[in-house]
Amino acid sequence: MPLSHDEITRFLKSVHPYDALPADVLDNLVQQIEVWEVEEDASVYELGTTLPGVFVIYEGQVEITDENDAVVSHLGLRNSFGERGLLRDGKAATKARAHTPSVLIVLPPDLVRSLIDGHDVVSKFFNRSRGDRTGPQSLATSSIDVLMAKNPATCPPSTPVQQAAQMMRDRHISSLCVTEGDKLLGIATLRDISGKFVADSMLKATTVSEIMTADPITLSPTDIGSDVLHVMMERGIGHIPISEGGKLVGVVTQTDLTHYQAVNSAELVRRIAKAQSAEDMAHVTVEIPQLLVQLVAGGNRHEIVTRLITDIADTATRRLLALAEDKLGPPPVPYLWLACGSQGRQEQTGVSDQDNCLMLDDSVSEDDMTYFADLAKYVSDGLDTCGYFYCPGDMMATNPRWCQPVRVWRDYFKGWIAKPNPEAQMLASVMFDLRPIGGAFHLFDDLQSDTLAAANANSIFVAHMISNSLKHTPPLGLLRGFATIRSGEHRNTLDLKHNGVVPVVDLARIYSLQGKLTEANTRARLQAAAATGVLSASGARDLLDAYDLIAETRLEHQVRLVKSGETPDNYLPPSALSDFERSHLRDAFVVVKTMQSAVGHGKGMLG
């Protein structure tokens, strides 16, 4: 489909970071780009080929796979791809093919580089869009409190060397910090034991005080990775104690540095794609909290962090589907596994349950349902093993209600729209966030567009959905304070999920219904709502800024818990924030409340 200059300009004005470019720069960009029309299943590029530029999807869907043909991601409208390989060495690091007939906008390499060099907003976007920066630069600039092992093993100076060696063996560690009370006296390593105690045939009664390195050099948790690297290289050592206020708080070893470099989303995806069981995958997904810490510490925006973490869940789901088919045999009819909830919106954090369903080809028979019940159980059980616990509300494909032919799903949506009772409103809210994960994607295409059109045309349904969306309110109290949880386990905390991000998620869903927008991701919905006129440009900017601050605060809270050795959650004590942070967070809640009020009173925020 030929695109005019004006069509391309309007489209790019709805795509970040091009929406922030001056008019003359954008006009020059549009004159230099190419438009590709790619047929269904046709290759866009192969692994290792020279990339013609950065691709932006104008229409259609594109599937990205790695060198093992494992699906890395499914991309849709306004998504871009190819930038990682282009900005690294100009070669494709993945494979891309059109999942449906697609129209792609291609920005030439020289143009992309000139935009990065000349415009901060583009530079920041592409630096963030490269994902987790796990090379030497990321390691060198990360703070030590992210790198170090906390609660290091210690022993008093009088400990016999043989006993110290047994402690290291039993704990699978290579050093002990020698302490007396809170005071660090030295460090004893396996190399000390082999090079002194064993090599010099020292007496069995020898204590660690005789072989340790006394008064070792220490660093602070606020130092950075390059400090560790420089000390290790200069002194030829592999273990550095970390102290704070004179108290031992951790230790950094060469193994810690290696592990830090190895933990990145692409590596976790690769290992999951090759796993032979759910138990194998669980050994990988247990590293997600550390990945969360590293991504946030690396300065990545929340939408990048949650997208990368969701990609891991998507890969685990697709791998479990493949393993299920290996065990059960080929499916009797085409099927589609879909995610809803935070996975459907690509917004998973360090706390995630599973919300999913199955759509089956209408040719499915009653006898075939046993196969899909077994497949759903295999995959859901596997996800639970991987740490994605069962949905408390049973919103899973293992529930026969959510494992049905497409014709039944059509009836579900028609019924919810025709009679929007409270249950229908709740179910519609969940199901409007559906995103295909694995299987026959075409089963969802017409259903989504038809449902959006029907929902948009029923003003009563939309009104009920708006009313339902206002049930989650920001935690605003009197006199510029917060309304914290009043009782129970999480008393005196803010629920950054249900009273923080969920009100914005609900607003974005309403905008998508009003505009018949196909995006599932909250941020993408808000941007699309602004681009299509459902939401004013100023309203979108305010709400996006508020959402970003709330979501970033939530992630930073989870990271603090992980770094303290605790399980991440969504409950933030306001006392953990500075006055400055509390003031800005409250301002963000005020913006959300204002937008809720406008929607609740039937004002379109278009002024």
pLDDT of residue 605: 43
Q: Is the peptide bond before 17 cis (omega within 30 degrees of 0)?
A: yes
Same domain, 75 and 221: no
Same domain, 294 and 205: no
CATH of the domain at 161: 3.10.580.10
Tens digits of residue pLDDT in 405-428: 999 999 999 999 998 888 888 888
User: What does the block give as tokens for 135?
Assistant: 């090379």
Task: Judge whether 96 and 62 are in contact, CB under 8 Å.
Answer: yes
Tens digits of residue pLDDT in 465-503: 998 888 899 998 865 679 999 999 999 999 999 999 999
Q: Which domain holds residue 156?
A: 140-256
Using a 10 angstrom Cβ sphere, with 0-12 exposed, 13-18 middle and 19 or more buried, the burial of residue 363 is exposed
Residues 548 and 552: their CA atoms lie apart, in Å, by 6
Interhelix angle for 502-515 vs 579-600, to 10°?
30
pLDDT of residue 603: 52
pLDDT of residue 607: 34
User: What does the block give as tokens for 46?
Assistant: 């192969």
Most distant CA pair in the chain, distance: 88
CATH of the domain at 54: 2.60.120.10
Same domain, 276 and 411: yes
Identify residue 394 by its one-letter amino acid code: D
**Alpha helix (H) ranges present in 474-578?**
502-515, 522-531, 537-563
Helices then strands, each counted (H, E), the chain: 25, 21
- Of the ranges 45-49, 359-363, 455-459, 484-488, which is most confident? 359-363
Identify residue 273 by its one-letter amino acid code: A
CATH of the domain at 480: 1.20.120
Residues 448 and 103: their CA atoms lie apart, in Å, by 20
The full DSSP string for 365-421 is -TTTHHHHHHHHHHHHHHHHHTT-BPPTT--STTSGGGEEEHHHHHHHHHHHHHS--
Task: Judge whether 592 and 474 are in contact, CB under 8 Å.
Answer: yes
% of residues, the chain, pLDDT over 70: 93
Using a 10 angstrom Cβ sphere, with 0-12 exposed, 13-18 middle and 19 or more buried, the burial of residue 302 is buried
pLDDT of residue 122: 80
Q: 62-93 burial by CB neighbour count: b if 16+ within 10 A, else e?
A: bbbbbeeebbbbbbbbbbbbbbbbbbeeeebb
Same domain, 18 and 125: yes
Same domain, 157 and 87: no
β-strand pairing of 175-180 with 154-155: parallel
Query: In this structure, is residue 463 part of a structural domain?
Result: no
Q: Which residues does 474 contact at the CB level (< 8 Å), separation at least 6?
A: 499, 500, 503, 589, 590, 592, 593, 596
Query: In this structure, is residue 464 part of a structural domain?
Result: no
Tens digits of residue pLDDT in 589-600: 989 988 998 887
Lowest mean pLDDT among 143-157, 223-237, 333-347, 372-386: 223-237
Residues 190 and 594: their CA atoms lie apart, in Å, by 62
Identify residue 447 by its one-letter amino acid code: L
Residues 44 and 250: their CA atoms lie apart, in Å, by 48
> 252 by DSSP, 3-state: which?
strand
Query: In this structure, is residue 92 part of a structural domain?
Result: yes
Name the domain boundary from 256, 291, 321: 256
For the chain, the domain total comes to: 4
pLDDT of residue 600: 79
Same domain, 477 and 404: no
% of residues, the chain, pLDDT over 90: 49
Task: Judge whether 223 and 144 are in contact, CB under 8 Å.
Answer: yes
Task: Judge whether 149 and 254 are in contact, CB under 8 Å.
Answer: no
Same domain, 208 and 343: no
The residue behind tokens 């229908």 is 424
Same domain, 298 and 411: yes
- pLDDT mean over 95-119: 90
Same domain, 391 and 505: no
Name the domain boundary from 381, 408, 443: 443
Q: How confident is the model at residue 136 (pLDDT cuts 50, 70, 90)?
A: very low
Task: Judge whether 556 and 493 are in contact, CB under 8 Å.
Answer: no
Q: Which helix (H) or strand (E) holds 451?
A: helix 442-457
Tens digits of residue pLDDT in 195-249: 888 878 888 889 999 999 999 999 988 777 778 887 887 788 889 999 987 789 8
User: What does the block give as tokens for 382?
Assistant: 């596997």
- pLDDT mean over 421-436: 87
pLDDT of residue 508: 94
Tens digits of residue pLDDT in 519-567: 889 998 999 899 899 998 888 999 999 999 999 999 999 999 998 889 9
The full DSSP string for 104-151 is EEEE-HHHHHHHHHH-HHHHHHHHHHT----SHHHHHHSBHHHHSEES
Sign of CA dihedral 99, 395, 514, 308: negative
Identify residue 201 by its one-letter amino acid code: S
Query: In this structure, is residue 145 part of a structural domain?
Result: yes
Name the domain boundary from 74, 100, 130: 130
Residues 310 and 507: their CA atoms lie apart, in Å, by 22
Half-sphere exposure of 10 (CA within 13 A, CB side): 8
Residues 293 and 295: their CA atoms lie apart, in Å, by 6
Query: In this structure, is residue 424 part of a structural domain?
Result: no
Using a 10 angstrom Cβ sphere, with 0-12 exposed, 13-18 middle and 19 or more buried, the burial of residue 244 is middle
Same domain, 15 and 98: yes
Residues 508 and 318: their CA atoms lie apart, in Å, by 28
CATH of the domain at 361: 3.30.460.10
Same domain, 369 and 281: yes
Lowest mean pLDDT among 52-61, 270-279, 379-388, 440-449: 440-449
Same domain, 574 and 482: yes
The residue behind tokens 């030929």 is 2
